[in-house]
Structure 1
Amino acid sequence: MANPIPRSLTSRERAFLDALVEPEFPGAVELRRQAAAVEVSGGCACGCASVDFVLPAVRPGMRIITEAIHRDGTGEVILFTRHAHTGQEVLAGIECFWYEGDSMTQLPPPSEFEIRAYDPDRRGVRD
């Protein structure tokens, strides 16, 4: 559910977003530029730490850009994009998955995760 007024990222969200756009991947330079100015439009109704970003009009579907796998294997965070009607790829949000215990209500420090460009053949596999 979107908040009526966009907000700035919290310091934890900013730290995690900066870490998620750090790996090299196609389009990284443009998405890093977008990350510097992104605003949060809302979050997940379940209360987890996932956030959606303010977007222009977009097409259906999404693409995972980077993934962060918790070092103990209990959770994962992904950065995803959507395609605007203009064809431009835009940052869409950060999605959190926690496999054990309660959901992640705040993002832990990025240092607790292995962060890399997304590879569908290795999704969720720690190095």
Structure 2
Amino acid sequence: MPVEITPRPMSSGERDVVELILANEFPGAVELRAQVDFVQVVAKWGIDSASVDLLVLEGAPRSPGVTGVIPVDATVMDEAASLFGEILLWAVDGYLSAIEYAWYGDEPPSTLPDIAMITIDARS
């Protein structure tokens, strides 16, 4: 259940993850990259959750036809090079809407991983 927070800019870690995913080419990527400076974090997916809801402020370009998970696989590997989770970047009606950190294990992470732990593979 989302926990509303006072809207704030993305943290440097959140921004790094979003920019890493959006550095890939796919239909609508240019407009989504242009939204990054207009994004605010408006809710967390739990008190200690690393997953957050995003709101794109007025003035950012809409990315036509982009809804759902951005078509980039962002897998997270732990220090032992074992698969730890994945990052899903979501959009609704052409606007960035959430960063989801899906993890594989018992304890949910409270922060996003360092981008050095993320392997990117653009879907075709």
Query: Which residue number corresponds to residue 76 of structure 1?
Result: 86
Query: Which residue number corresponds to residue 119 of structure 2?
Result: 114
Contact 1:67 1:79 in 2 (8 A): no
Deviation at 1:118, TM superposition (A): 4.3
Alignment of 1:1-127 (within 5 A): 1-3=2-4, 5-45=6-46, 47-54=48-55, 62-65=67-70, 66-71=72-77, 72-83=82-93, 89-118=94-123
* Structure 2 residue identity aligned to 1:22: A
TM-score, normalisation: structure 2: 0.78
Query: Residues 51-73 of structure 1: CA distance to partner in whole angstroms, max 9, x if unpaired?
Result: 111158xxxxx511133101321
The alignment of Structure 1 onto Structure 2 pairs a total of residues equal to 109
Gaps of 5+ in 1: 57-61, 84-88, 120-127
* Structure 1 residue identity aligned to 2:106: G
Deviation at 1:2, TM superposition (A): 5.0
* Structure 2 residue identity aligned to 1:14: R
Whole-Å separation in 2 of the counterparts to 1:80 and 1:5: 21
Gaps of 5+ in 2: 58-66
- What RMSD, in angstroms, separates the aligned Cα atoms of the two structures? 1.9
Query: Which residue number corresponds to residue 125 of structure 1?
Result: none
> Higher strand proportion, which one?
2
Runs of 4+ displaced beyond 3 Å: none
Contact 2:90 2:98 in 1 (8 A): yes
TM-score, normalisation: structure 1: 0.76
